[in-house]
Amino acid sequence: MLVLLLPFAAQAQHLTFSDPVLLVAPAEYFFDGLLVADLNQDGLQDILYKIGSLEAIWHAQQDSMQFSAALSIPGTAEFSATIDAESADVDLDGVPDLIMARSPLDSLSYSVLKYSEQAGTLGITDSLGPQGGPASRFSMVDLDGDLDPDLLKWSTLPSRPLGWYENTGPAGLSAYHLIDSLEVFTVLSGDVDNDGDLDICLDVGNAGLYWLENMDGSASQFTLHAITESGRLQGIADVDSDGDPDLLAWDYWNNFPFPDSLALHLYRNTAGTGVFTEAQTLYAGIARSDIYRSQFVDLDEDGDVDILVAATAVYWYENLDGQGNYSELQTLKEPFWPDYASILYNVVDLDTDGLPDLVVHDWRFGVAWMRNMGMTGIAGNPLPATPELHPRIQLVSPNPFNAQLRIDLQVPHAQSIQLALYNVAGQRVLSWPLHYYPPGAHTVRIDEFQGSSGKYFLHLQAESSFDTRGITLIK
């Protein structure tokens, strides 16, 4: 196994993301999932989420990145608490539908929803029963090659079926086909063997990575092929521009001296044969609890496949030459919250400027948008300066500190601001009353802090944004 992927000799430029901008305020209850998609067919990306046993909520994007008040979707209270939803044109009428899973997860069934321009809301138009036994996840793909989206479903529990609902055209999803009974965590599709049909890549329990070969292009028969003995599948894409899909996966890092740590591996497809190279290690030794996700995505919009890694901060590997020669790990955003255990990510071009942004969500700060500002540091082509739009923590001093701390704030526009201090477990240990600040520079002080030595996070919550700064107490 290769130990580290050496950086390519070319000089990588710097990709910049904005500070988080608040889109949806924190909820009283825990947010259970997030989908960003064009739900009302106006060309703008909207926001959909679920809160426990309440009806699903969506916010329609309006002009200038403003979002509507919460719009509930009638009849969705029984739907899956952890939202599993996709957008696809199920009935082939030229208008994408919204497909959502209904609970309980042990007998997962599905509903198709459409936007009514007359009513101005989403409504259920069709429902599909839990054929083929229980499942817990699904995706919409054209598995049988007849140019309509089928529903592929699977379960993360042992001896549960991996199967698919066939789309029969205007009548929608109907016949169910069993593929195998496998304990599957992640399922991704792609033409692994370069024969013109969709195959299935998956990780099976603790048994490793596999792919299912679509033998006749109609998904009537599959053959299972082993890739590696362990790993959790993260992405599938052609990283080296040779016409076949390669794989990205996390795996346990046995050579690292700390327990429960992971390594990020790249597996290259050999000439479209479905035979993959030995694991190429991009990064090793990160704590398992720090990982939320990693994925293939063209972050800098230069036509090749980069890698996004969301851990204790947000990182990326730049594909420097389109051949899968990657830069060193680069930081996109420093940690902006004490822990990432409940943060969810969507990578989507929210502002329709051609660059994929990050939409993140956590019940403690709501839904926030980090805009992709593009590449900087390119000679002769700097990004124009942008005015300060949101309050921010300008300086914290001294850092590290001992009992006393000075906090300098910059407030571009008059508004109410809440400051709070959190420990690394996400517990609030100090807070200030909500205060109305006029425009300008302001100073807040801690005169005597009695906490234990260690890392803390100073969090500024404004009316439409937030900012967080890591600080260290030494006694």
Residue 287 has what pLDDT?
58
Highest mean pLDDT pick, 245-249, 311-315, 362-366? 245-249
pLDDT mean across residues, the chain: 80
Cis before 74 (ω within 30): no
Chain centre to alpha carbon of residue 153 = 20
User: Tokens 């894409």 identify what position?
Assistant: 237
Highest mean pLDDT pick, 104-108, 289-293, 409-413? 409-413
Exposure on the CB side of residue 297, measured as CA atoms within 13 A: 21
pLDDT in tens, 295-316: 999 998 889 999 998 766 788 8
Residue 198 has what pLDDT?
95
pLDDT in tens, 41-61: 888 899 888 777 778 888 899
Q: Does the pLDDT at position 274 exceed 80?
A: yes
Task: State the Cα–Cα distance between residues 376 and 358, nearest whole angstrom.
Answer: 18
Tokens of 120: 């101005």
Pairing relation of β-strands 85-88 and 246-252? unpaired
Task: State the Cα–Cα distance between residues 236 and 212, nearest whole angstrom.
Answer: 14
Q: Alpha-carbon torsion 379, 385, 390, 393, what sign?
A: positive
pLDDT confidence bin for 118, thresholds 50/70/90? confident
Lowest mean pLDDT among 69-73, 122-126, 221-225: 122-126
**Which tops the pLDDT comparison, 465 or 377?**
465
Task: State the Cα–Cα distance between residues 179 and 466, nearest whole angstrom.
Answer: 47
Task: State the Cα–Cα distance between residues 461 and 416, nearest whole angstrom.
Answer: 9
Beta-carbon contacts of residue 76 (< 8 Å; ≥ 6 apart): 50, 55, 56, 100, 111, 124
Q: By the 8 A CB rule, do 128 and 109 touch? A: yes
Measured in degrees and rounded to the nearest 5, phi and psi for residue 443 equal -125, 130
pLDDT confidence bin for 108, thresholds 50/70/90? low
Residue 430 burial (10 A CB sphere; 0-12, 13-18, 19+) = middle
Tokens of 270: 């050999």
Residue 5 has what pLDDT?
39
Task: State the Cα–Cα distance between residues 425 and 165, nearest whole angstrom.
Answer: 43
Task: State the Cα–Cα distance between residues 258 and 402, nearest whole angstrom.
Answer: 31
pLDDT confidence bin for 381, thresholds 50/70/90? very low
Q: Does the pLDDT at position 383 exceed 80?
A: no
In angstroms, how far is the first alpha carbon of the chain from the final one? Answer: 44
Tokens of 58: 């969506």
User: Tokens 């992971």 identify what position?
Assistant: 262
Please report the DSSP string for 150-193 in residue order: EEEEE-SSTT-EEEEEEE-STT-EEEEEEEEE--EEEEEEE-TT
Give the residues across from 270 on adjacent strands: none
Q: Does the pLDDT at position 8 exceed 70?
A: no
Residue 305 has what pLDDT?
94
Q: Alpha-carbon torsion 70, 75, 81, 87, what sign?
A: negative
Lowest mean pLDDT among 3-12, 222-231, 400-409: 3-12
Rounded to a whole number of angstroms, the CA Rg of the chain reads 24
pLDDT confidence bin for 285, thresholds 50/70/90? low
Q: What is the pTM (predicted TM-score) of this model?
A: 0.76
Beta-carbon contacts of residue 5 (< 8 Å; ≥ 6 apart): 266, 280, 281, 282, 326
User: Tokens 């509507």 identify what position?
Assistant: 68
Residue 331 burial (10 A CB sphere; 0-12, 13-18, 19+) = exposed
pLDDT confidence bin for 171, thresholds 50/70/90? confident
